[in-house]
Structure 1
């Protein structure tokens, strides 16, 4: 859980800090430092609103628990989080290259119009989006216990690393190719999303919400049990220890949704998820290539006409 929290918090916090940093750097560059306080005001209000969202979410989850329906909320959170994480990766991959230009364009509009409220609202919404996403993802990886993720070392470490990276980035002492950076972190986020989806399916099967054609496709407990308890049971039943400890299994299950005895539906969902992601990636690349090729083809046709 802590590694998941670290990665998610780092990614979300860095995204927010980069955008806020781009805004404040641009305001200083165009000699409008007086507006930076409004940008930080919006960001600060968004942090408070995100904390409020976390408290509200926890109250709602406690209410579901009191009614004995928290398992359904957990499943829903996991599925929605998997979709949101995937969407977030694709959105950032598409917009990371033009992020600076788009943000500065909006600031130009606000400065020209003297729209202070617009600056506050813009920075507020940018940071709030990342904050609410973080709350939602924390709920997914902790099964509703958001406080555990917030209080753990993962979240604090993720924020600290994001702050350091953004500080050195804007100081000019660290050069980060944003597109490549978000591709690497995006790959880990996709693995987490796949794990959440598979865990949601496993929970639905545990409560009988959906059945299974084949409850156990294979059994890797001898190699890597999911939990220390499974490790102990294997030693008791077979007289030999598995190759790896249950602690490793717990770590991989929390991070990537590892299962020592997955059902057929879990295997299909895991493979199917990556197949869909691959198809989406290749289709987007094809669309970009078509957009680049069209002007070149048009220019070639025009040149041919002129020659003729």
Structure 2
């Protein structure tokens, strides 16, 4: 799961168990009526929608052990197997009764077992175990197995089990970026077979040490009676960091619509933002319900990477389009040609798409980052401080949005277009670096490190050959388009002067 559930008391777990039992006890009647689809739906509902989502499975696993959690799942699935094999009704009835009793026994013992404050330490141990597998495989000469173990350490545990999100929320993005780089180097070293066994072991041990250190800190932060102001700081920084980039894009295109006097385009932008928020919530909910796995972690990275690529393409297109309208004559011609058109125009679609992609790229991730923060809240004061952090970030983002808007509206048209085009181009370069990094984290793109190159996350600057090469290509495209637009504008000005000369002579 994406994050550990909030702690619950005896009444809570008993209530969850009775909800599950009520669903499971529908199965004998469904089986008697030959409703196999209903039987399997009840099993899925009991397991996925209640046992997992409520956090009961995680608590049994955490406090009673893997064997107890696995035993219950085996017992639950035995009902499905009996119904598929056309077993006697009495056997199905007995299996349902045994499953209900096993669940009650687990909950009774769970309530009597003290809560353990080592949630993230246990996740860290799973990461370290995979890193040990990578070391053993590399030592035996099986470099592919070493690379796969290192990949699973990141995707199946560090990310999918929520440790990455918790680290970002409480310890900061810089720490996660550092560890992601180490994960990438470990995978790449295994693929290339480029280092000695001792060097590889040292890389893995350094990473394991940092993972263990972070997990211990997180348990200390989340196991106290109250989060205190750490909840405020975490929520403030997450929302501010994730929202700033999307806000700059939306502010730029909204300011353009204001200067253009095009209400249809403003409407399209708002629709794009609202749609992105709705899709972000849906995606966050989907990922939070999935069982932790390498596929789940890879899916998140892949989605972020693909969205980033699309955003880069749209930003380059819009940046060049705005630059092409930077002369007063071009703008007047465009207004005359498009005035009165509705929201189906190409311009409306383009700007709505830019807003949609900018918000979507950050939206789902922001919601997921808040999962461990909200899960760690134990008191009303904790929740109050978290929402205070959200409020403070919203106010600051609103101020930033207003400054971009006011500054943009006051600029002369030509200067506004030029600087908006430059801003969108810079954001395209930044997002391009982040998109390639997401593909690297998903183990779909190689990651060859470069010594001496700083990592500046806010600029999408990562010290790998692949990310920097991609950004150089984007810069080259933007510069080429800018030069072409400059030459075109210069040629048109010269042509205008040439055409004006005879008219002046006639006067």
What TM-score, normalized to structure 1?
Answer: 0.55
1:16 corresponds to: 254
Deviations 1:14-43 (A, max 9, x none): 31243145225xxxxxxxxxxx6x887666
Match of 2:472 in 1: 275
Give the superposition deviation at 1:204. 3.0
2:281 counterpart of 1:55: yes
In the alignment, is the contact (CA less than 8 A) between 1:93 and 1:182 conserved in 2? yes
What's the counterpart of residue 368 of structure 2?
A: 145
- 3-state SS of the aligned residue for 1:69? helix
Root-mean-square deviation (Å): 4.6
Q: Does 2:252 align with 1:7?
A: no
Structure 1: any 5+ residue segments left out of the alignment?
25-35, 111-117, 225-248, 301-308
Residues 1:157 and 1:82: Cα distance change in structure 2 (over 3 Å): same
Structure-1 separation of matches of 2:473 and 2:257: 30
CA deviation profile, 1:45-68 (whole Å, cap 9, x unmatched): 555434323322323333455676
Task: Give, in angstroms, the shift of residue 273 of structure 1.
Answer: 0.9
CA contact (8 A) 1:40 1:123 kept: no
The 5 Å alignment of 1:72-151 reads 72-97=298-323, 98=325, 101=332, 104-105=335-336, 108-110=339-341, 118=342, 125=349, 128-139=352-363, 142=365, 145=368, 151=390
Per-residue CA deviation, residues 255-304 of structure 1 (Å, 9 max, x unaligned), is: 24556xx6xxxx2212311331233234435644675688879xx9xxxx
Q: Deviations over 1:196-220 (max 9, x none)?
A: 1342244134xxx6667x6x55488
Paired residue for 2:396, among 154, 157, 163? 157
Stretches of structure 2 that go unaligned for 5 or more consecutive residues are: 1-237, 372-388, 499-507
Aligned length: 235
Q: Which has the higher contact order (CA 8 A, sep 6+)?
A: 1
SS at 1:58's partner residue? helix
Larger Rg, first or second structure (1 or 2):
2
- Structure 2 partner of 1:182: 420
Cα separation, partners in 2 of 1:106 and 1:11, compared to 1, 3 Å: same
Alpha-carbon separation, structure 2, partners of 1:219 and 1:168: 37
Q: Is the 8 A contact 1:79 1:200 kept in 2?
A: yes
5 Å matches for 1:241-252? 252=456
